Amino acid sequence: MIKNKIGEMENLFKEYRLTPKRKLVLEIFLENKERHLSAREVFRLSREKGADIGLATIYRTLELLEELALLHKLNFGDGRSRYELIPVNDEEHHHHHLICLKCTRIFEVKDDLLQQLESVVENKYNFKIVNHNLQFLGYCSKCRQSEK
Ligand SMILES: [Zn+2]
Ligand SMILES: [Zn+2]
Ligand SMILES: [Zn+2]
Protein backbone atom coordinates (compact mmCIF):
# COMPACT_ATOMS: atom_id res chain seq x y z
CA MET A 1 0.00 0.00 0.00
CA ILE A 2 2.64 2.51 1.08
CA LYS A 3 4.94 1.26 -1.70
CA ASN A 4 2.20 1.93 -4.27
CA LYS A 5 1.64 5.43 -2.92
CA ILE A 6 5.35 6.22 -3.12
CA GLY A 7 5.35 4.90 -6.68
CA GLU A 8 2.56 7.34 -7.54
CA MET A 9 4.51 10.17 -5.98
CA GLU A 10 7.73 9.34 -7.79
CA ASN A 11 6.69 10.98 -11.07
CA LEU A 12 5.95 14.19 -9.18
CA PHE A 13 9.65 14.53 -8.44
CA LYS A 14 10.35 15.89 -11.92
CA GLU A 15 14.02 16.80 -12.21
CA TYR A 16 14.70 15.86 -8.60
CA ARG A 17 15.43 12.30 -7.66
CA LEU A 18 13.50 10.24 -5.19
CA THR A 19 16.55 9.37 -3.12
CA PRO A 20 16.35 6.77 -0.32
CA LYS A 21 16.31 9.57 2.28
CA ARG A 22 13.47 11.40 0.57
CA LYS A 23 11.63 8.12 0.22
CA LEU A 24 12.01 7.46 3.93
CA VAL A 25 10.62 10.88 4.84
CA LEU A 26 7.60 10.23 2.61
CA GLU A 27 7.15 6.84 4.21
CA ILE A 28 7.08 8.45 7.65
CA PHE A 29 4.30 10.77 6.54
CA LEU A 30 2.33 7.91 4.99
CA GLU A 31 2.65 5.93 8.22
CA ASN A 32 1.53 8.90 10.32
CA LYS A 33 -1.24 10.28 8.20
CA GLU A 34 -3.34 11.58 11.03
CA ARG A 35 -0.47 13.52 12.54
CA HIS A 36 1.06 16.89 11.77
CA LEU A 37 4.76 16.37 12.07
CA SER A 38 7.47 18.90 12.82
CA ALA A 39 11.01 18.47 11.48
CA ARG A 40 12.16 17.26 14.90
CA GLU A 41 9.42 14.66 15.03
CA VAL A 42 10.33 13.42 11.55
CA PHE A 43 13.93 13.27 12.73
CA ARG A 44 12.98 11.22 15.79
CA LEU A 45 10.80 8.85 13.74
CA SER A 46 13.57 8.36 11.19
CA ARG A 47 15.92 7.39 14.05
CA GLU A 48 13.35 4.89 15.27
CA LYS A 49 13.37 3.35 11.81
CA GLY A 50 17.12 3.00 12.08
CA ALA A 51 17.94 5.68 9.52
CA ASP A 52 20.85 8.05 9.84
CA ILE A 53 19.60 11.36 8.44
CA GLY A 54 20.78 14.64 9.92
CA LEU A 55 18.29 17.24 11.08
CA ALA A 56 19.52 19.73 8.45
CA THR A 57 18.80 17.18 5.70
CA ILE A 58 15.33 16.65 7.15
CA TYR A 59 14.67 20.39 6.99
CA ARG A 60 15.84 20.55 3.38
CA THR A 61 13.82 17.48 2.44
CA LEU A 62 10.67 18.93 3.97
CA GLU A 63 11.19 22.17 2.04
CA LEU A 64 11.66 20.26 -1.20
CA LEU A 65 8.56 18.14 -0.61
CA GLU A 66 6.62 21.31 0.08
CA GLU A 67 7.91 22.84 -3.14
CA LEU A 68 6.83 19.71 -5.03
CA ALA A 69 3.36 20.09 -3.51
CA LEU A 70 3.59 16.75 -1.71
CA LEU A 71 3.52 18.31 1.73
CA HIS A 72 1.56 21.15 3.15
CA LYS A 73 3.29 23.42 5.63
CA LEU A 74 1.21 24.36 8.64
CA ASN A 75 1.75 26.89 11.32
CA PHE A 76 -0.22 26.38 14.50
CA GLY A 77 1.35 29.28 16.33
CA ASP A 78 3.57 27.20 18.60
CA GLY A 79 6.73 28.42 16.92
CA ARG A 80 7.42 25.34 14.82
CA SER A 81 6.34 24.48 11.32
CA ARG A 82 4.46 21.27 10.88
CA TYR A 83 3.76 19.31 7.75
CA GLU A 84 1.11 16.98 6.44
CA LEU A 85 0.67 15.09 3.19
CA ILE A 86 -1.31 16.58 0.37
CA PRO A 87 -3.43 13.79 -1.17
CA VAL A 88 -1.97 12.80 -4.54
CA ASN A 89 -5.32 12.31 -6.24
CA ASP A 90 -7.10 15.41 -5.10
CA GLU A 91 -10.26 13.51 -4.22
CA GLU A 92 -10.15 14.78 -0.66
CA HIS A 93 -10.76 18.45 -0.08
CA HIS A 94 -8.29 20.09 2.25
CA HIS A 95 -9.44 20.14 5.84
CA HIS A 96 -9.36 22.59 8.68
CA HIS A 97 -7.82 22.31 12.09
CA LEU A 98 -9.03 22.65 15.63
CA ILE A 99 -6.18 23.46 17.98
CA CYS A 100 -6.55 22.87 21.69
CA LEU A 101 -4.89 25.72 23.59
CA LYS A 102 -4.33 23.53 26.62
CA CYS A 103 -3.00 20.17 25.44
CA THR A 104 -1.96 21.49 21.96
CA ARG A 105 -3.58 18.49 20.27
CA ILE A 106 -4.76 19.09 16.74
CA PHE A 107 -8.06 17.81 15.44
CA GLU A 108 -9.18 17.76 11.85
CA VAL A 109 -12.47 19.10 10.57
CA LYS A 110 -13.33 17.20 7.42
CA ASP A 111 -16.28 19.30 6.32
CA ASP A 112 -15.49 22.46 4.50
CA LEU A 113 -18.64 24.49 5.11
CA LEU A 114 -17.07 27.61 3.67
CA GLN A 115 -18.35 27.72 0.08
CA GLN A 116 -21.20 29.96 1.06
CA LEU A 117 -18.98 32.35 2.97
CA GLU A 118 -16.60 32.48 0.02
CA SER A 119 -19.29 33.41 -2.45
CA VAL A 120 -20.62 36.15 -0.14
CA VAL A 121 -17.11 37.59 0.22
CA GLU A 122 -16.41 37.28 -3.51
CA ASN A 123 -19.53 39.23 -4.37
CA LYS A 124 -19.20 41.84 -1.70
CA TYR A 125 -15.50 42.62 -2.31
CA ASN A 126 -15.29 41.67 -5.98
CA PHE A 127 -12.43 39.35 -5.12
CA LYS A 128 -11.78 35.96 -6.73
CA ILE A 129 -10.99 33.54 -3.91
CA VAL A 130 -8.80 30.56 -4.78
CA ASN A 131 -8.16 29.25 -1.31
CA HIS A 132 -8.62 29.93 2.36
CA ASN A 133 -6.78 29.21 5.50
CA LEU A 134 -8.61 28.71 8.73
CA GLN A 135 -7.83 27.52 12.23
CA PHE A 136 -10.09 27.22 15.21
CA LEU A 137 -8.54 27.80 18.62
CA GLY A 138 -10.17 26.53 21.77
CA TYR A 139 -10.35 23.68 24.26
CA CYS A 140 -10.90 20.03 23.40
CA SER A 141 -13.47 17.87 25.18
CA LYS A 142 -10.84 16.06 27.28
CA CYS A 143 -9.36 19.30 28.56
CA ARG A 144 -12.80 20.66 29.37
CA GLN A 145 -13.66 17.46 31.24
CA SER A 146 -10.59 17.74 33.43
CA GLU A 147 -11.44 21.35 34.34
CA LYS A 148 -14.58 20.21 36.11
ZN1 LIG B 1 -7.01 19.63 24.91
ZN1 LIG C 1 -4.43 18.16 9.05
ZN1 LIG D 1 -11.76 24.65 3.31
- SS3 letters across 113-133: CCHHHHHHHHHHHCCCCCCCC
Q: Are 109 and 67 in contact (CB under 8 A)?
A: no
The ligand with the least distance to the CA atom of 113 is 3
Return all residues near 62 (Cβ < 8 A) that are at least 6 apart: 25, 39, 42, 71, 73, 81, 83
Q: Which domains does the chain have, with CATH numbers?
A: 1-92 (1.10.10.10), 93-148 (3.30.1490.190)
Q: Quick: pLDDT tens for 13-54.
A: 878 889 999 999 999 999 998 889 999 999 999 999 999 999
pLDDT at position 98 over 90:
yes
Q: Are 83 and 36 in contact (CB under 8 A)?
A: yes
Question: Which residues are within 5 Å of ligand 3 (an ion), measured at CB?
Answer: 112
Mean pLDDT for the stretch of residues 113-140: 91
What helix, strand, coil percent values describe the chain, rounded to 5? 45, 15, 40
- Residue 95 CA, ligand 2 centroid: distance in Å: 6
**Torsion of Cα atoms, 5 then 74 then 79 then 27, to 10°:** 0
Q: pTM to 2 decimals?
A: 0.78
Q: Which residue has the higher pLDDT, 9 or 125?
A: 125
Residue 103, classed as helix, strand or coil, is coil
What is the per-residue pLDDT for 39? 97
